[in-house]
Amino acid sequence: SELYCGVGAIGLSLLARGSRVRFNERARGGLEGLASGLAARPSAERARAEVFPGSAGDHRGLIEGADVVVVDPPRKGLDRPLLEALAGSPPPRLVYLACDRTSLDRDLDALLASGKAVLRGIEAFDFFPFTEHVETLVWLDRAGEQFAECSDPPPAEGRCP
């Protein structure tokens, strides 16, 4: 599942390898861009995509049963209901792309406080040179589990589980 997906730049790239991708976006422009992106994908990939318009907090149920949850929230960080759901029952892998370090710090404190998730990696990207703006990619795994990476290339059936 990808929440706060915008035009789907991350999730669309996962369609070729995933068995199902659920997209969530609130903004009309993002949803229009996502629809265009989906229309350009092969029909087999489109069949594995579902779109859930509205707030990420209202669609926090999309994390249930997902092997990977990708979040790319606005500067304010994660919606409180989604944050609470992720902290209470983290997915096997959570990938968080943050555009604001302060909200990322706050959200990570909440995600890690219960001990149910473990920080596995963090990397900063300077997509906007000569500005103070840095994107930060963080990945966490459910505690007690090691997330199984998909092989590259994917298995013979062409998709990761």
Catalytic residues: 99
Q: Identify whether the C-beta of residue 115 lies closer than 8 Å to the C-beta of residue 108.
A: no
Residue of 21, 57, 19, 61 whose CA lies nearest to 38: 21
Q: Identify whether the C-beta of residue 31 lies closer than 8 Å to the C-beta of residue 59.
A: no
Q: Using DSSP bridges, classify how beta strands 49-53 and 21-25 pair: parallel, antiparallel or unpaired.
A: parallel
CA 64-100-72 angle, to 5 degrees, is 30
Residue of 160, 135, 142, 158 whose CA lies nearest to 150: 160
Q: Identify whether the C-beta of residue 96 lies closer than 8 Å to the C-beta of residue 71.
A: yes
